[in-house]
Amino acid sequence: MSDTQSKSTNIVWHEGTVDRRRREAINRHRGLTIWFTGLSGSGKSTISVALEERLTDMSCRTYRLDGDNVRTGLCRDLTFSPEDRIENIRRIGEVAGLLRDAGIINLTAFISPYRRDREMARSLATDNDFVEVFVDASLAVCEQRDPKGLYKKARAGSIPNFTGISAPYEEPVSPEVHLNTGEQSIQQCVDQLVKYLIDNAYIETELAARAE
């Protein structure tokens, strides 16, 4: 499933008349991807939900793509094998690209354990419109939280390929934002992210003022 070449021939791109810049001008913010990566239980879903709430209060247009959610539809044919994880991230990367083009701030919450796959998702983006967020918490902290009881099952050997236990997690080398959820509160993490977006002019001043 990881073949990235198109299997179709005779494909001709049909250009529209409304482009991303016009959509962004209406939205008063850039279309961008905020790519959360981290161990299961590190807080990707929790922080993306809280950030989306804050951005929506500021009248930003947002959309969340979350690991388990996409696996019920778009990626329901995929397993957690290394090959299928690559295909999973490839599809998310493509969908994130469509959402950027739609001028939307999309927040993706996937473990995305392989550096190469995150780089592939990043390579589809341009103009700094890919913000990688390392949601960092130690394995011990994540296992202590175990919000879905998955570590318990993984330790018992009933979940194969479980990141951190029986499958690797490759930490980001230079993420745009590094959150330490073992020490920072959810609120502090959201504040740090909103500040990053404002400081880097992803959101126009008028909307940014609503973050106060």
Residues with catalytic roles: 112
Measure the CA–CA gap between 113 and 102, rounded to whole angstroms: 27
Given the complex with Mg ion, which of 20 and 80 has the nearer CB atom? 80
Strand 32-37, strand 105-109: pairing: parallel
CB of 117 to Mg ion, least distance (A): 17
- Report yes or no: 119 and 53 within 8 Å, Cβ to Cβ: no
Measure the CA–CA gap between 102 and 21, rounded to whole angstroms: 9
33 binds, among Mg ion, ligand ADP, none (CB under 5 to 8 A by kind): none
CA atoms within 13 A on the CB side of 113: 18
- Report yes or no: 48 and 144 within 8 Å, Cβ to Cβ: no
Q: Does 45 bind Mg ion (CB under 5 A)?
A: yes
CB of 139 to ligand ADP, least distance (A): 12
145 binds, among Mg ion, ligand ADP, none (CB under 5 to 8 A by kind): ligand ADP
Residue nearest to ligand ADP (CB): 43
Strand 177-180, strand 62-66: pairing: unpaired
Q: How many CB atoms lie within 10 A of CB 144?
A: 12
Q: Which of these ranges, 37-45, 57-65, 121-129, 200-208, lies near Mg ion under the rule CB under 5 A? A: 37-45
Given the complex with Mg ion, which of 65 and 203 has the nearer CB atom? 65
Residues that bind ligand ADP (CB under 6 A): 38, 40-47, 109, 135, 145, 147, 181, 184-186, 189
- Report yes or no: 122 and 130 within 8 Å, Cβ to Cβ: yes
Given the complex with ligand ADP, which of 34 and 189 has the nearer CB atom? 189
CB of 131 to Mg ion, least distance (A): 18
Measure the CA–CA gap between 174 and 172, rounded to whole angstroms: 6
- Binding residues for Mg ion, rule CB under 5 A, total 2
Given the complex with ligand ADP, which of 47 and 75 has the nearer CB atom? 47
Measure the CA–CA gap between 39 and 74, rounded to whole angstroms: 22
CB of 148 to Mg ion, least distance (A): 8
